[in-house]
Amino acid sequence: MFRFVLIRFGRAFVTIIAVMTFAFVVLRLSGDPAAVIMGPDAPIEAVNAFRAAWGLDQPVWVQYVAYIQAIFTGDFGVSMRGQSPALDLVVERIPATLELTLPALLLQLAIGIPAGIYAALHRDSAIDRGVILGAVMGFTIPSFVMGLVLVLVFAVTLGWLPSGGDATWQHAILPVIAMSVGGIGILARFSRSAMIEVMGQPYIRTASAKGVTWGSVVRGHALPNAAVPIVTIVGFMVGSLLAGAVVVETIFSWPGIGRLLIVSVTNRDLAVVQCILLLVAAVMVVSNLVVDLLYGWLDPRLRGHAAH
């Protein structure tokens, strides 16, 4: 078990380094930040002073080492426009993004999984067909279309809910719905097929044949086995939630990380973009790590396999 955890941590670490290198390479390949920030008409002395101030006049590998060192000491650079540390700018936006992503994730889990499992257990019924159709529509309608239609219906036409901002809890309702619909569809569909797969296994037939009641077969035999693939897909969905936050926060003028990313990308505020990139990668790596560790807990076979 210790070895299993150690290998997972090692892979997570390598991935983080890879993302950092990616950010660095893209950053340096993309042209001269000094020229972009200062504008084409800036005097050459001012541009040179800017380069020296940001270390842009050093050889690339010196910059790379300094960059990696700085990140590991918690220094993500200074926002080139705001003049405040990039990390502070990003950290103060985290709660706003969590206010949307956590309820959205909970909604996805609370609706998607039961709907999928119910559909699988009542295969080919009207409800099953309804769940499939709803699920396919849920994940094929892009979140920005969903968000705008929600605004059009509930804010503009009916006037029930506000269309943007974050003043009250009512402001969060539409963004959370827009963010969760796609994931509910994906989870419902995936849980359904995972459950159908499990229900077709010989051990389910064996359990039924020796007289275990249907409810106990589902609870004791089918659900634990369907849990492993479902946990996998939930791990992947954390990433799409973060991507969804970018779009949805933009539509609803929600002051979270996603909006900060778009504003920083538009302004080419490289330090902030980089900081968000690393934060997202860290969240993804941690969630994959949690999924991997959950496997070990859910499925004793994997635990034994990984240790050898």
Partner 1 sequence: MALTDIAAAPAVRRPGLTTRLRRLVPWSVAFGMVWLGATLFVAVFADWLRPYSITQMDLMARLVPPLTPGHLLGTDELGRDVLSRLIQSVQVSFVIAFGATILSAVFGTTLGFLAARFRGLAEHIVIMLADFQAALPFLIMSLAVLAFFGSSMVLLVALMGFYGWERYARIARGLAISAGAQGYAAAVVQLGGTPARVYLKHILPNVASTLIVSMTLTFPEIILMESGLSFLGLGVQPPETSLGNMIGFGREYLTTAPWIMLAPAVVISLTTLSISLVGDWLRDKLDPTIR
Binding site for partner 1 (CB under 8 A): 11, 14-15, 18-19, 22-23, 26-27, 29-31, 133, 136-137, 139-145, 148-149, 151-152, 156, 193, 197, 239-240, 242-243, 246-247, 250-251, 261-262, 264-266, 268, 270, 273-274, 276-277, 280-281, 284-285, 288
Contact between 273 and 264 under an 8 Å Cβ cutoff? The reply is: yes
Q: How far is CA 125 from the centre of its chain?
A: 33
Q: Could you count the other beta carbons within 10 Å of the beta carbon of residue 12?
A: 18
Give the residue with the Cβ less far from partner 1, 5 or 265.
265
Give the residue with the Cβ less far from partner 1, 125 or 213.
125
Give the residue with the Cβ less far from partner 1, 225 or 274.
274
Give the residue with the Cβ less far from partner 1, 155 or 212.
155
**Residues near 47 by Cβ (< 8 Å), separated by ≥ 6?**
34, 35, 38
What is the smallest separation between the CB atom of 268 and partner 1, expressed in angstroms? 6
What is the smallest separation between the CB atom of 54 and partner 1, expressed in angstroms? 15
Give the residue with the Cβ less far from partner 1, 16 or 109.
16
3-class state of residue 78 by DSSP:
strand
DSSP E strands in 140-215: the ranges are none
What is the smallest separation between the CB atom of 262 and partner 1, expressed in angstroms? 6
**Residues near 92 by Cβ (< 8 Å), separated by ≥ 6?**
none
What is the smallest separation between the CB atom of 216 and partner 1, expressed in angstroms? 26
Distances (CA, A) of 29 to 22, 24, 26, 33, 48: 10, 9, 5, 10, 19
3-class state of residue 7 by DSSP:
helix
What is the smallest separation between the CB atom of 300 and partner 1, expressed in angstroms? 25
